[in-house]
Amino acid sequence: MTGLPSPPGPGFTGVVDPTRDAPPQDVTEPAGVNWGVGVTPGAELVPVRRPSAEPDDDGGVRTGDVDGWGRSERVRALARRLYDPVYRRYFRVEWEGLEHIPREGGALLVANHGGAIPSDAPVIMHGIETELARPVYGLADNLFRSVPVVGTLWSRAGGVPAHPDNAFRLLHDEQQLVLVFPEGTKGTGKLVGERYQLRRFGRGGFVEIAMRAGVPIVPIAVVGNEEAMPILAKSSRLAKLLNVPYVPLTANMFLFGPLGGLIMPLPAKFKLRVLPPVHFDVATNQDRYNHSVVLDQSAAIRTKIQDALFDMLRARRSVWSG
């Protein structure tokens, strides 16, 4: 039988524990007090200070430093500090036409791609962020995200898996600058004798995304990326075995070794020309767009970049000095 404890019998001299067998009491926690684990009944409660939600006085970064895409402005700032000597002293980057990149609103940046491990993406992102103080999100193959540690660092530095939905959200909903290379791995996998000969720009998906998002496309011609890590030969057998687009033999490997040759680029002079934006007079956010129009616009943008590359190469005196 349960209930209150029976009263002590005659002559009882012990101490009654009123909590033994007693029903639980409704105890309300005082405001601002953490009870802790295993508190002894009747013991004095010591308030525990809750962590402050405000940033530290020393300017510490709050939890919100990482955005919904995994980009961290703190990591991006660190990357800019580390990469700046490479950008300014090693590649000696020069820009032409930066005024064509909008200071506000979304825009899709489209550039040619080259080099076994391409240096064009970090050069473009670093240059725009330092010169115009606008963040740039780079769309790339999901292969990077699947590599442990590398995938996380890639996301923190502004990399986003290349998917139409991701591009639309960044361009339309968030009005960001987004960088894409329509040639993909067909561009970076070119042999040294094929450099600056642009491959087909896919099926024009980047044009359709820009139309749907209602943003302009800004073409960018890049010279120097092909010579920074030129491919002398490729092993299709190893590529199939490793399930990667290509396994290159680069000129860099003869100077820096097998591994260093895939990390250390050659000091080619980088020059970039930003072309006037391409606007589309179509309704935004449509399910489908005329496929022939999309392909025509894609081909026209490719031709603009190809013509600019030929013009820049004719004016170039040296791979290393420009």
pLDDT digits 0-9 by tens, 122-176: 999 999 999 999 999 999 876 666 666 667 888 888 999 999 999 999 999 999 9
Does the pLDDT of residue 43 top 60, yes or no?
no
The string of pLDDT tens digits covering residues 298-318 is 999 999 999 999 999 999 999
As a whole number, the mean pLDDT across the chain is 84
Are the C-beta atoms of residues 219 and 201 closer than 8 Å to each other? no
Specify whether domain 66-225+271-314 bears CATH 3.90.1150.10. Answer: no
Per DSSP, helices labelled H in 120-235 are: 120-132, 143-146, 150-156, 164-168, 185-188, 205-213, 225-228
Residues paired with 278 in a beta bridge? 217
Per DSSP, helices labelled H in 109-170 are: 120-132, 143-146, 150-156, 164-168
Q: What is the pLDDT of residue 133?
A: 95
Does the pLDDT of residue 56 top 90, yes or no?
no
What confidence category does residue 207 fall into, taking pLDDT thresholds of 50, 70 and 90? very high
Does the pLDDT of residue 37 top 80, yes or no?
no
Does the pLDDT of residue 228 top 70, yes or no?
yes
Does the pLDDT of residue 72 top 50, yes or no?
yes
Tokens of 171: 């361009």
Q: What mean pLDDT comes out for the span 273-282?
A: 97
